[in-house]
Amino acid sequence: MTACGGSAPAASNTEAAAEETTAKETVAEEPAAETAAPAEEKADDAAQAATEPAVEESTLASRYEDDMARYQTVIDGLQDGQAYGFADISDVDVLLVADNVYDNLDGNMVAMKADVYCVNGADEVVKYGTVESSDSGYPLYVTADKCLMFGGNHKLTKVYVDIEAGAIITFEEFTETFDADGKAAYHYLSMDEGIDADVEDDSAHGAMLEQYETGTPVNFTTVGEAAAAAATN
């Protein structure tokens, strides 16, 4: 028996010679069997291929790709310097058009304000409205639950597109206002929680801010000569 990691003890001269002769005879007989096997396998493969029906490959355009093609008419009509971006909002592919964009210093060109276009129930591209932040530090973002979010230090708004209603719907919003004496008042709306009322503190703002910061900025592409000039700088 061969020890783990070791080798077998040496055999006697007679035994070694006999084993060597047997080994040579065995090796001499093996090539014929090995040569015959591949030929049989090839014949079987050819017969199987002849009986299998041909498979045709097809590529179907996704709903997203279809919507992007529809939006091309709007994109082609943009003026020099305008920009466009795409966002998946509540499983609706939305086109955003902005007049002004800026570098977010993270590889994205972002916007504070944009018109929202969508394909409606009649399969037509229509403008659903406009969304706008109050602070350049809060460009348009898409949250993890596929809502569009924007705002500023004293207001955060989270919306989605309702195709049947033909409108942009506010899903969640926090607002902070101040009276003449500088005293703050807070208002919070949440469709998910069924709340639309004044609240005692700004804790809702913190929760919404976390949603915003873990979201994804909408990246815009500028069209026309302005885009070409920016690319060369």
Q: CA-CA distance, 204 to 97, in Å (whole number)?
A: 30
pLDDT per residue as tens digits for the range 112-142: 999 999 998 888 999 999 999 999 999 999 9
Give burial (CB, 10 Å; 0-12/13-18/19+) of 140: buried
pLDDT per residue as tens digits for the range 190-223: 999 999 999 999 999 999 999 999 999 999 999 9
Neighbours of 94 (CB within 10 A): 24
Name, in order, each residue with C-beta under 8 angstroms of 139's C-beta and a sequence gap of 6 or more: 102, 104, 110, 111, 112, 133, 150, 217, 218
pLDDT per residue as tens digits for the range 129-186: 999 999 999 999 999 999 999 999 999 999 999 998 999 999 999 999 999 999 999 9
The per-residue pLDDT for 55 is: 40
**198 sits in which H/E element:** strand 195-199
State which amino acid sits at residue 214.
T
Give the pLDDT band of residue 231 (cuts 50, 70, 90): low
The per-residue pLDDT for 38 is: 55
Tokens of 176: 């902070």
Judged by phi (left if over 0) then psi (alpha if -120 to 50, else beta), residue 28 lies in alpha
The per-residue pLDDT for 60 is: 38
Mean pLDDT, rounded, of the chain: 79
The per-residue pLDDT for 70 is: 84
